[in-house]
Structure 1
Amino acid sequence: MDQSSLLYGAITLVVCGLSSLYVALVIWSPPPIVTRDSEKQYLCHASPKKSRPLSRLADPGSVDLTIVVPAYNETERLPVMLEATIDHLTSPTLKNKHSFEVLIIDDGSSDHTSAAALKLAGKYPKCDIRIVTLEKNLGKGGAVRHGMLFGGGERLLMVDADGASRFTDLELLWEAMDKIAPSNGAGVVVGSRAHLVKTEAVVKRSFIRNVLMYGLHTILRIVGVGHIRDTQCGFKLFSRAAAQQIFPAQHLPTWIFDVELLLLAKQLHIPVMEVPIEWHEVAGSKLNVVTASLQMLRDLLIVRANHLLGRWKALPARPKAQ
């Protein structure tokens, strides 16, 4: 066999290999997230049976703050979290400081989370608590994305339903947002538990969870968000301008979606600030660490590959007409 034949064979193998990898990427990439008509509406204490239309992220903001709570089978943990949220936002020191709405996104639960949330809303009749029920379980990332796309806040906070983050730390995030995104500019403030690594809050966690945490940090440095020490804390604040650019471009519905959000912010040159917050582990996590680890690795590779190849990308916001 002459050299030209060997060269041709090698090129053919490389082309076939790259083509196979590309096909695998297309197959493994999650399909577009479909929003059904029923999911564009909500129930509330004032209208428990007749659905009302949700706000749209593309429209101007209608309140100071939207709180997005992804909830999958959270009938037991949601009451404590919601009480802490409402107590803080209606406290004498903050009363009337932030107009707000709470969006509880029931991610296709099987334990009647929506009904429980609607009953909870009755405890706070003066508060705008909206319950949205997704027809199928999307995953935490899909539920957060949905809430953000239909939030009316000038600032939008994602917060876990377990109440692990101290809600009063919202004010720390708020102050940081004032610094990096004045005049309603684009900005993201990340609640961070990095300062707790050597404390009991983390040391007492299971061995496998801590291994997962350190492994994740290593991979994050490889994919390009190693500058954020804690990407996974479920307490993040987005300005409306940032949310309008980031969330329509989000593809991952799984639990590692936070990394995609931060990668998008980096691509869009949106400033991100990390702020230490208080946090404690709450029993009842639905995360299977072994399955999640494998899914994490797959999804991070999928995100990075799609971004590098330009299949997934975010477009900067168009300048507003004067």
Structure 2
Amino acid sequence: MSGRAVSLVMPAYDSATYVDENVGKVLEFFRRADIDGEVIVADDGSTDGTAEAIRTDPNVRVLRLPHRGKGAAVRAGMAAANGDIRAFTDGDLPYGMEPLPLALSYIRERRYHAVIGDRTLPGSAYESTGVLRRAVSELASFSFRTLVTGGIYDTQCGFKVFRGDVAAEIFRLTRIDGFAIDVELIYLLLKYRLDLKRIPVRLERNAPSSVHVLRDSTAAFRDIATIRRNWSTGKYRSPVLTRLLQDELRADVEEAADRIGAIGRPGRSSG
């Protein structure tokens, strides 16, 4: 398959009852927006026939994977992607397609290397959940932000969009197989000082969440220790990202110099 404008990866686990409907929503969005896009469903070892439930379509690919977790599924999907822009969102489309046009515009304009959904921003809407579930979730999210990203970002929002060249390298660097891959990605984006844009999202969950808050949060805390250790031991070292940023800085400096030179050149007088 030749390169596409947009690749959208959807990790899915035991999603047979709704995944094909959501794939259809993405394809309809691509059609209406006249986008040459592909959907990659990364089936994380489902046992309910998720892969078989997905339509056969030239713009849809299904990856049948062993059950290792969301992180491993997203990483496999991104490794298979070939879009100029590469995004992922959960298989239940919890935020619909509403935030995607804005995210795509930011990436196309080359203003940012990545765009992420942030449920804490004005304009976002979040579902009302049980008191215990909400409390554990918010405590975990606060801890992730404090330990990894300086208390700034909503790390766990399952909507992230990347420039294709950045996605190819940053997902190659990732090591986390579980839900904490979201934390790992933001950690790497910040450590490499890549340009990151947050946008509001409105939760419109279409299916029950597969997240077990207490169990998955406990695992994520262990993963955070792994992330920090990986950075300190050089496992995330990337000459590719370093060179990419150096090249972009050099291009920006040259462009600024050209503009200054144009301002300083006297206009040609008429005869």
Taking structure 1 as the reference length, what is the TM-score of the superposition?
A: 0.69
What does the per-residue CA deviation read over 1:294-315, in whole Å, with 9 as the maximum and x for residues that have no partner?
1121111221122123344344
Q: Map 1:293-312 to 2 at 5 A.
A: 293-312=217-236
List structure 1 segments (4+ residues) > 4 angstroms apart after TM superposition. Answer: 196-199
Shift of 1:228: 4.2
Look up the match of 2:62. 131
- Percent identity (aligned): 25
Aligned equivalents of 1:227, 1:171: Cα separation in 2: 27
Shift of 1:196: 7.1
Look up the match of 1:86. 27
How many equivalent pairs are there? 244
1:191 to 104, 117, 120: 117
Look at both structures and tell me which one has the larger radius of gyration over its CA atoms: 1
Q: Contact 2:145–2:155 at 8 Å: present in 1 too?
A: no
Look up the match of 2:36. 99
Shift of 1:222: 3.2
Aligned equivalents of 1:244, 1:105: Cα separation in 2: 16
Look up the match of 2:82. 152
Q: Contact 1:62–1:153 at 8 Å: present in 2 too?
A: yes
Structure 1 residues 240 and 227 mapped into 2: Cα distance closer, same or farther (>3 Å)?
A: farther
Q: Contact 2:114–2:162 at 8 Å: present in 1 too?
A: yes
Structure 1 residues 197 and 211 mapped into 2: Cα distance closer, same or farther (>3 Å)?
A: farther
Look up the match of 2:146. 222
Aligned equivalents of 1:230, 1:197: Cα separation in 2: 14
Quote the RMSD (CA, aligned, Å).
2.3
1:67 to 1, 5, 8: 8
Taking structure 2 as the reference length, what is the TM-score of the superposition?
A: 0.82
Structure 1 residues 290 and 216 mapped into 2: Cα distance closer, same or farther (>3 Å)?
A: closer
Unaligned runs of 5+ residues in structure 2 are 248-271
Structure 1 residues 164 and 291 mapped into 2: Cα distance closer, same or farther (>3 Å)?
A: same
Shift of 1:143: 0.4
Aligned equivalents of 2:8, 2:124: Cα separation in 1: 30
Unaligned runs of 5+ residues in structure 1 are 1-54, 56-60
Deviates more, 1:254-263 or 1:186-195: 186-195
Q: Map 1:1-322 to 2 at 5 A.
A: 62-91=3-32, 94-95=33-34, 98-117=35-54, 120-121=55-56, 125=57, 127-134=58-65, 136-179=66-109, 181-182=110-111, 187-195=113-121, 201-202=126-127, 204-226=128-150, 228-317=152-241, 318=243
User: SS where residue 205 of structure 2 aligns?
Assistant: coil
